[in-house]
Amino acid sequence: MVTLVPELTMELTNLFNWLKQPRRITLLTHVRPDGDAIGSALAMKMYLEKKGHTANVIAPDDFPDFLDWMPGSKQVYIHQRNRKTCFAILTQSDAIFFLDFNAIKRIEALGEDVMKLTRPYVSVMIDHHREPDNFTDYRLWNDHASSTAELVYTFMEMAGDIHLLDQDMAACIYAGIALDTGIFQYSNTTAHVHAIAGKLMEYGIKVDRIHNDLYNQYGENRIRFIGYLLSQKLQIIPAYRAAYMSITMAEAEQYKLSIGDKEGIVNLPLAMKDIDIAVLFTEDKGKVKMSLRSKGDVNVEILARNFFNGGGHMNASGGSSKQSLEDTIKTFEEVLPKFYAMPEANTNQ
């Protein structure tokens, strides 16, 4: 069972006391928010509102359509499209919660607005990514937690408020956990995770429906695009048990890909028995976004952090490069031997 650092628990008691008065609270997620980020933020919003607070969610940019079913998703403010309103909300905040990320740079332009705030506010990080920056008053952080959604559940439990859970909150938390554990298959799937999922099911959530809403939402374009990528773009580097694919801006346009259409594609090469690392390079304006995944003891967080200005988890990380797509791929091929020479590259060494 995951246990939390005792001092943090003590500190959080002060936060729980502060939250006995109604407060105006803003919940922020990381850029390109995923289901754990949005699910955590929406569950937290519902919980805080039940406690008598005013709560708003701001995401830096759009989230995938397959999260639209989440209760409250329509009320999420998108900073990139509504910067003025978002700034007005921020300036009126008594507290800001940072959910599913642990460095201000992970919210890009939204972070610049947060830095401009002159009125004091209480700051809280709830996160499970490695190597957190120290920029908040409070944190509920544990890199052994499966997901931020699991930590939102823990937050409510520690506050003595688990009785406030309802079906809508349970669905958002369940979805966050399901997505970040690859539907209960990755090594972050602990007995504790299953116990929480079991408790959430007692609130009447329909797991088959949640799975259908999350995973069976492909358009024809996406399924054909995956076929194209796997047949035409997959590259294998057998010596390093690595596979990669890339998506150019022209391909994204040709196949009319929306944000959610790229989700999960990076994992596909890991189904090969001789592959331990899979990378997806996505060309964007002025940069290349990278998704990195690994199996077993191979630590792609080290690869993302040391060579691609990123981070995340041991088996699932992200990063970016300002080089062209071609040069980024070249750099990747060049740094692979350097990465494997690092003692931290393989946690079993």
123 binds, among ligand 5GP, Mn ion, none (CB under 5 to 8 A by kind): none
Cα separation, 281 vs 245, in Å, equals: 6
Please report how close the Cβ of residue 301 comes to ligand 5GP at its closest, in angstroms: 8
Which residues bind to ligand 5GP, rule: CB under 6 A? 30, 34, 106, 129, 291, 310-313, 316-320
Residue 150 found at the interface with Mn ion (CB under 5 A):
no
Please select the residue that binds Mn ion; options are 12, 15, 36, 188, rule is CB under 5 A.
36
For 229, half-sphere exposure in the C-beta direction (CA atoms, 13 angstrom radius) is 29
Please report how close the Cβ of residue 134 comes to ligand 5GP at its closest, in angstroms: 15
94 binds, among ligand 5GP, Mn ion, none (CB under 5 to 8 A by kind): none
291 binds, among ligand 5GP, Mn ion, none (CB under 5 to 8 A by kind): ligand 5GP
111 binds, among Mn ion, ligand 5GP, none (CB under 5 to 8 A by kind): none
With respect to ligand 5GP, which residue has the nearer C-beta, 72 or 312? 312
Please report how close the Cβ of residue 43 comes to ligand 5GP at its closest, in angstroms: 18
Are 26 and 58 in contact by the 8 Å Cβ rule? The answer is: yes
Binders in 179-238 for Mn ion, by CB under 5 A: 180
Cα separation, 88 vs 110, in Å, equals: 12
With respect to ligand 5GP, which residue has the nearer C-beta, 30 or 45? 30
With respect to ligand 5GP, which residue has the nearer C-beta, 49 or 284? 284
Angstrom CA distances, 340 to 192, 205, 221, 280, stand at 33, 44, 37, 19
With respect to Mn ion, which residue has the nearer C-beta, 229 or 300? 300
With respect to ligand 5GP, which residue has the nearer C-beta, 110 or 165? 110
With respect to Mn ion, which residue has the nearer C-beta, 147 or 282? 147
Buried b (16+ CB within 10 A) or exposed e, 142-164: beebbbbbbbbbbbbebbeeeee
Please report how close the Cβ of residue 176 comes to Mn ion at its closest, in angstroms: 7
Q: What letter does residue 175 receive in the DSSP assignment?
A: H
C-alpha 194: how far from chain center: 20
Please report how close the Cβ of residue 194 comes to ligand 5GP at its closest, in angstroms: 21
Question: In the chain, helix, strand, coil percent, each to 5?
Answer: 50, 20, 35
311 binds, among Mn ion, ligand 5GP, none (CB under 5 to 8 A by kind): ligand 5GP
312 binds, among ligand 5GP, Mn ion, none (CB under 5 to 8 A by kind): ligand 5GP
Are 95 and 23 in contact by the 8 Å Cβ rule? The answer is: yes
With respect to ligand 5GP, which residue has the nearer C-beta, 94 or 127? 127
For residue 246 the two structure tokens come to: 């890339």
Alpha helices in 122-203 (DSSP H): 148-158, 167-180, 191-201
Task: Find the angle CA(333)-CA(129)-CA(315) to the nearest 5 degrees.
Answer: 40
Q: Which range binds Mn ion by CB under 5 A, 90-98, 147-155, 273-281, 293-301? A: 147-155
With respect to ligand 5GP, which residue has the nearer C-beta, 92 or 347? 347
What is the full DSSP assignment across 30-76?
-SS--HHHHHHHHHHHHHHHHTT-EEEEEESS---GGGTTSTTGGG-
**Nearest CA among 180, 168, 178 for reference residue 69:** 168
Please report how close the Cβ of residue 313 comes to Mn ion at its closest, in angstroms: 8
Angstrom CA distances, 44 to 54, 56, 126, 188, stand at 11, 10, 10, 22
Q: Which residues bind Mn ion (CB under 5 A)?
A: 36, 100, 147-148, 180
